[in-house]
Amino acid sequence: MEKMFTYEDYQSTAEWLLSHTKHRPQVAVICGSGLGGLADKVTQAQAFEYSEIPNFPQSTVPGHAGRLVFGFLNGRACVVMQGRFHFYEGYPLWKVTFPVRVFRLMGVDTLVVTNAAGGLNPKFEVGDIMLIHDHINMLGFSGQNPLRGPNDERFGPRFPAVSDAYDCNLRQKAHCAWKQMGEQRELQEGTYVMVGGPNFETVAECRLLLNLGADAVGMSTVPEVIVARHCGLRVFGFSLITNKVIMSYETIEKANHEEVLESGRKAAQKLEQFVSILMANIPPSDNAI
């Protein structure tokens, strides 16, 4: 088994980044599949390949560029992860979530998580944006948790609460931002469920997840959110509904990754505008270090 990162490992990566950029981000954004175009909107941008950064894992999934981009989004100092890491790539969850604690040590106070997800809720259409107001951690039910192992109190408590994981104030601001955009479809809100992947779900699994109270399903996000809340970051998250899950054995269509990336491309402009407006409305956090 690989040796887990120590506090000093996180610190050395944070210090490396702080010494290689003049940017001091307040907000970190993690881009999901096909959503990395947001990084192209960053002004005064300075980018690092993941391979350059000490201790950083590598992203291996199509639609994930594998770059860390520092700069400004609509005037807000930010760092954008153009590509994330996944459990299904073979990474342990403590490695999947490595960047989150690094961002915390760099002075970030707010984490924005985005993902591409399958719509379970029958009211959802492809191209909808769903604000995440809660999650179901299927990996956690099987004992897979990024906080498993020794706890370092310098990051957070042994038993953190996640009942308020997704910031209510930021969700309200997101609804205001959406109204400003004048979109025809309403902004959705719901519960995201994480499964391990990399296969898409069976019909029986989709029916089960819907009955559990989930509105959208994906293969990421939850580990980063757990670690972010553990170390005191405020979290805002949304899913782009890139496909409707298969709920019937009579359905001929199958879910595929190309469809996910294509939906991301089509929704890119809307998403970039949405995040841009939202950035201007993010207040400083009480937890800023």
pLDDT at 254: 83
50-61 pLDDT per residue, tens = 999 999 998 777
230-280 pLDDT per residue, tens = 999 999 999 999 999 999 998 888 888 888 788 878 887 888 889 989 998
Mean pLDDT of 93-115: 97
**Among the ranges given (79-83, 171-175, 278-282), the one the predictor scored with the smallest mean pLDDT:** 278-282
Q: Assess contact for 120 and 71: CB atoms under 8 A.
A: no
What is the C-alpha separation between 286 and 281, in angstroms, rounded? 15
Q: Assess contact for 120 and 205: CB atoms under 8 A.
A: no
What is the C-alpha separation between 200 and 114, in angstroms, rounded? 19
196-233 pLDDT per residue, tens = 999 999 999 999 999 999 999 999 999 999 999 999 99
7-29 pLDDT per residue, tens = 999 999 999 999 999 999 999 99
pLDDT at 266: 85
Please check the confidence at residue 112 and state whether its pLDDT lies above 60: yes
Please check the confidence at residue 166 and state whether its pLDDT lies above 90: yes
Q: Which residues are tagged catalytic?
A: 33, 64, 86, 88-89, 116, 219-220, 243, 257
Residue 138 pLDDT level (bands cut at 50, 70, 90): very high
pLDDT at 271: 87
| 266 or 187: which leads in pLDDT | 187
Task: Give whole-number Cα distances, 244 to 146, 183, 217, 225, 234, in Å.
Answer: 29, 21, 10, 24, 30
What is the C-alpha separation between 234 and 229, in angstroms, rounded? 7
| 78 or 33: which leads in pLDDT | 78
Enter the pTM of the model. 0.95
Residue 283 pLDDT level (bands cut at 50, 70, 90): confident
What is the C-alpha separation between 137 and 273, in angstroms, rounded? 30
Backbone φ and ψ for 88, nearest 5 degrees, come out as -70, -15
